[in-house]
Each structure stands twice: as structure tokens, then as C-alpha cells.
């Protein structure tokens, strides 16, 4: 049996076929996808992946925020779970999230076809709205799954284009009845593309992910005095566009002062009325601020708040803020990281330990069960971009590590009676 176990490996053609078929749902120019959470496109992606879950005779449950959990109910005890998301940003790639979900199905199918029965159930989750691009916060589905936000609060969140999350769930047919928080797994491991440049730069194939950096999202609204662009002297302006630009520059300078682990992004800016010859009335911009160190993240938030106060007075504008997301840095379970690292090595991969720059569902599952992640390289470190790419051999290597990590976890006592 031991040698059968060692020889188990995923079917690379089947994994790539599923990845490419899902990439045909709402493709965009440049080879990526637009499946913003709970849009028709997201529904079409869900329908396709659920059909594959049914083909594998998995038990499928859909909860009140639309998380889909498919379980292959073999063995006994709580399942070893994997999963990720299939929603994308507006200009998403083919692999972000999708890879983790479809590799999970590949793990199940590999066991089934080889007659290998794990000692615990295996579960694969598709978590709602991981991206947070349409409904903030990010990782919303997994946050609710672990009890970090109530269902009622989640259902009431409004999209950047207006509708309520609960109404969109009903509209696309994914408002389920399974309760939240959901059942606690034995353990959770998520496979994902790195989405950054480090593995490629270091010529390393596998990242054993040690944790996820902290994240702070807020929306800032600057209201000034709208006026004529030709007649209003510069000295008399209260121009929200100028203030928004100053805020972006301040964030860039703050990142430089705080060092490598500080990243800041102004990714969305809405100007009203957005016309060439009108000093704007109002600008709304988003701030995405992240650091691996919670103290530094708090310090950054503090300095940003001070700057907003100062510039509002100096420019005679009104500034209001709305918190969109706030998650502290997360440290993954060292036992799960060790298993990932040693399996990656056994399978003749180069491996290094690294934190994640991006947010992931695993950081939420880590609140309730031992969790960690596996990364594979992103070509040129590009993600949240249709050009996102990972070489097939890296995708396959990662999926094989996921397979053996999940099966090893099935047989590992992690110290609690699940």
C-alpha cells in the first residue's frame, strides 16, 4: 500500500482541461476572465464546477452566503479540506483561485480512479467573493464560514454597482440553506499561484506559505468646491482631484519610509462630474494598505488618518472615510507547513518558506483549524491581470503536493478530536 500511495499522481491533462474550460466562462481580451462575485458570469462558472463535483459523486452543500462545499464522504471524522475561489477581479487571470478549486477536484478524482480510499473525507470549497472587488471585504465567504461575520451582515453588503449581496445570491440561484458558520474541518490546505515575483526570481518551484500579511482597506471621499476650470484662480480652489493625488503621493512616500514589507495602493478613483473643464465636486478613492507586521500596519493607518486631517484643513475640503476591510496578519500552522515542505522535497522540488502578499481563504480557515498554503510561481510575478500565467509543469507539481499533503493530513493527528 505504501508504494501505491507514493506512486499516486494527478492527471495533468485532466487538470489543464478543467482549468481551460473554466477559463472559457466569461473570457476577456488578453486571455483572462471577468467573473466578479455573484454576477451572471460567476453563476456560470459555479454551474460548471458544480457539474464536475456531481460527476465525482461528491455531496454538495451550499450555505447562506453561497459558499459551495463538496465532500467525498469516505473514511471517518472531520474532512481534510482544500479550496479557494472562482470569482475574479474585473481583469482577472485564469489561475487565481480557480487553480486551487480545480486541483482539489483533481485530488478527489485521482484517489477515486486509483481506488485509494483516504481515512478521512476530502472536501473542496468554493468560497464566495474572495476577491472583495465587487463586495468588500475580501475573503467574505470564508470569513462568514468561520463565524467572523454574521450571515445577516454579509447579506446586507452592497456592491460597487449597487445591488445587495443577499439579492444577488438569490438572483443567481446560490442562496443555500446550509448553516453558517460551517462545519469545522480537520485541517485546511490551499493551493494557489504566488501572484508575485519571488519564486521565479529565486528559481524555486514551491512556496511553503508561512502566513498572510495584514490588510487594511478604506474608501476615502473628498468633497470640494466644484467650479469653472477657466475662471477659478488657483489660489481660490478647493479641488478634490488635487487632494486625491496628494493622498496617493503620501501613500507612496509612506511605503518608502516604512520599507519593503509596506505596500500601499490607490486602485480605484471615481471623480464627479468627471469633465475636462470642471473643477471636480467630489472624488472617491480606495486605499489598500498591507504589512506583515501588525504594529507597522497600525502605524501606517495612524499616519494616513493624520495626513487626511491635515490636508482637509489646508485645502478647505471635507474628507470622510469608510472602513472596507481589516484583517491582522495570520500565521499558518507549523505542522502543516512542515508537511508541505517535506512532501515538496520528497517530490524533488525546490521549496522555500514565504509569507503571502495576497489575501486568501486559508487565512480565514486558519481561525478554526490547522491551515497552510502551497504556492507555485507566477511568470513575471504578474496577477490580477489577464496576462497572469503559470507553467503547466509548475501547476502539476503543485497539485501533486496538494494530493499528498491532503492524504498525509488524513493520517495525521493534529491534536484535537475532530
97 contacts: CB under 8 Å, gap ≥ 6: 84, 85, 86, 87, 88, 130, 131, 192
Cβ of residue 357: shortest distance to ligand GLV, in angstroms? 7
Contact 46, 73 (CB under 8 A): no
Q: Which is nearer to ligand GLV, 188 or 217 (CB)?
A: 217
Binding-site partner at residue 166 among ligand GLV, Mn ion, none, CB < 5 to 8 Å by type: none
Shortest Å distance, C-beta 96 to ligand GLV:
7
Q: Burial of 110 by CB count in 10 Å (0-12 exposed, 13-18 middle, 19+ buried)?
A: buried
From the CB of 301, what's the least distance to ligand GLV, in Å? Answer: 17
Give min distance, CB of 307 to ligand GLV, in A: 23
Name the nearest CA neighbour of 278 among 223, 227, 233: 227
- Burial-class residue 249 by CB neighbours within 10 Å (0-12, 13-18, 19+): exposed
Q: What does the per-residue mask of binding to Mn ion show for 68-107, with x meaning CB under 5 A?
A: ----------------------------xx----------
214 contact, one of ligand GLV, Mn ion, none, CB 5-8 Å limit per kind: none
Residues in 113-172 that interact with ligand GLV by CB under 6 A: 131, 138
* Entry field: residues in the chain: 418
Contact 351, 206 (CB under 8 A): yes
Closest CB to Mn ion among 18 and 238? 18
Q: Could you tell me the three cell numbers for 94?
A: 485564469
Comparison of 93 and 182: residue with beta carbon closer to ligand GLV: 93
- Out of ligand GLV, Mn ion, none, what residue 359 binds, judged by CB under 5 to 8 A for its kind, is ligand GLV
CA distance 219 to 225: 20
Closer of 10 and 212 to ligand GLV (Cβ)? 212
Query: Which of Mn ion, ligand GLV, none does residue 141 bind to, with CB < 5 to 8 Å depending on kind?
Result: none
Residue 261 and residue 406: Cα distance in Å, rounded?
A: 31
Closer to ligand GLV at the Cβ: 75 or 197? 197
Return the number of other C-beta atoms located less than 10 Å from residue 165's C-beta.
24
DSSP H/E element including 265: strand 263-265
Lookup: cell for 34? 471577468
Q: Pick between residue 192 and residue 238 the one whose CB is nearest to Mn ion.
A: 192
In 276-389, the DSSP E strands lie at 278-279, 282-291, 318-327, 330-331, 351-356, 371-376
Q: Give the nearer residue to Mn ion in terms of CB position, either 371 or 408.
A: 371
CA dist., res. 249 & res. 243, Å (int): 10
Tell me whether residue 137 or residue 240 sits nearer to Mn ion (CB atom). 137
**Residue 78 vs 382, nearer CB to ligand GLV:** 382
- For the bound state, the minimum distance from the C-beta of residue 192 to ligand GLV, rounded and expressed in Å, comes to 9
Using CB under 6 A as the binding rule, whether residue 194 contacts ligand GLV is answered as no
What does DSSP say about strands 282-291 and 263-265: parallel, antiparallel, or unpaired? Answer: antiparallel
Shortest reach from residue 131's CB to Mn ion, in Å: 5
For residue 275, the minimal CB distance to ligand GLV (Å) is 31
CA distance 47 to 53: 10
Rounded to a whole number of angstroms, the CA Rg of the chain reads 23
* Residue from 32, 45, 66, 359 in contact with ligand GLV (CB under 6 A): 359
What's the closest the beta carbon of residue 145 comes to ligand GLV, in angstroms? 16
Q: Which of 34, 62, 324, 358 binds ligand GLV (CB under 6 A)?
A: 358
Of the candidates 182, 125, 190, the residue with the CA atom closest to the CA atom of residue 148: 182
Binding site for Mn ion (CB under 5 A): 96-97
Binding site for ligand GLV (CB under 6 A): 131, 138, 358-359
Amino acid at each position: 500500500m505504501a508504494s501505491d500511495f507514493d506512486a499516486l499522481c494527478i492527471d495533468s491533462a485532466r487538470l489543464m482541461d478543467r482549468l481551460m474550460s473554466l477559463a472559457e466562462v466569461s473570457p476577456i481580451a488578453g486571455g483572462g476572465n471577468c467573473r466578479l462575485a455573484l454576477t451572471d458570469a460567476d453563476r456560470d462558472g459555479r454551474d460548471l464546477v458544480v457539474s464536475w463535483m456531481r460527476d465525482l459523486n461528491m455531496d454538495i452543500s451550499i450555505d447562506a452566503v453561497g459558499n459551495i462545499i463538496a465532500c467525498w464522504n469516505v473514511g471517518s471524522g472531520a474532512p481534510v479540506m482544500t479550496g479557494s475561489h472562482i470569482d475574479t477581479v474585473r481583469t482577472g487571470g485564469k489561475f487565481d483561485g480557480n487553480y486551487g478549486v480545480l486541483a482539489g477536484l483533481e485530488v478527489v478524482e485521482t484517489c477515486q480512479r486509483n481506488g485509494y480510499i483516504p481515512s478521512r473525507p476530502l472536501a473542496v470549497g468554493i468560497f464566495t467573493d474572495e476577491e472583495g472587488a465587487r463586495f468588500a471585504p475580501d475573503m467574505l465567504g470564508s470569513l462568514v464560514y468561520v463565524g467572523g461575520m454574521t450571515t445577516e451582515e454579509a447579506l446586507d453588503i452592497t456592491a460597487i454597482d449597487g445591488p445587495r449581496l443577499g439579492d444577488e445570491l438569490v438572483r443567481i440561484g446560490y442562496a443555500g440553506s446550509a448553516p453558517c458558520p460551517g462545519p469545522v474541518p480537520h485541517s485546511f490546505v490551499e493551493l494557489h499561484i504566488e501572484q508575485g515575483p519571488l519564486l521565479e526570481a529565486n528559481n524555486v518551484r514551491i512556496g511553503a506559505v508561512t502566513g498572510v500579511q495584514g490588510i487594511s482597506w478604506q474608501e476615502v471621499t473628498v468633497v470640494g468646491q466644484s467650479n469653472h476650470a477657466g475662471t477659478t484662480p488657483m489660489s481660490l480652489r478647493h479641488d478634490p482631484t488635487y487632494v486625491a493625488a496628494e493622498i496617493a503621493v503620501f501613500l507612496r512616500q509612506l511605503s518608502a519610509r516604512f520599507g519593503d514589507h509596506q505596500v500601499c495602493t490607490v486602485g480605484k478613483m471615481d471623480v464627479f462630474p468627471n469633465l475636462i473643464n470642471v473643477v471636480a465636486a467630489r472624488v472617491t478613492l480606495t486605499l489598500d494598505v498591507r504589512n506583515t507586521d501588525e504594529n507597522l500596519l497600525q502605524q501606517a493607518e495612524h499616519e494616513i488618518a493624520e495626513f487626511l486631517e491635515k490636508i482637509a484643513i489646508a485645502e478647505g475640503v471635507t474628507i470622510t472615510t469608510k472602513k472596507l476591510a481589516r484583517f491582522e496578519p495570520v500565521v499558518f500552522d507549523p505542522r502543516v507547513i512542515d508537511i508541505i515542505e517535506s512532501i515538496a522535497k520528497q517530490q524533488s522540488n525546490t521549496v522555500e518558506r514565504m509569507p503571502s502578499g495576497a489575501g486568501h481563504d486559508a487565512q480565514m480557515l486558519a481561525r478554526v483549524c490547522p491551515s497552510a498554503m502551497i504556492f507555485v510561481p507566477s511568470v513575471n510575478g504578474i496577477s490580477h491581470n489577464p496576462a497572469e500565467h503559470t507553467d503547466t509543469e509548475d501547476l502539476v507539481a503543485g497539485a501533486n503536493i496538494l494530493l499528498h499533503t491532503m492524504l498525509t493530513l488524513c493520517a495525521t493527528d493534529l491534536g484535537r478530536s475532530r
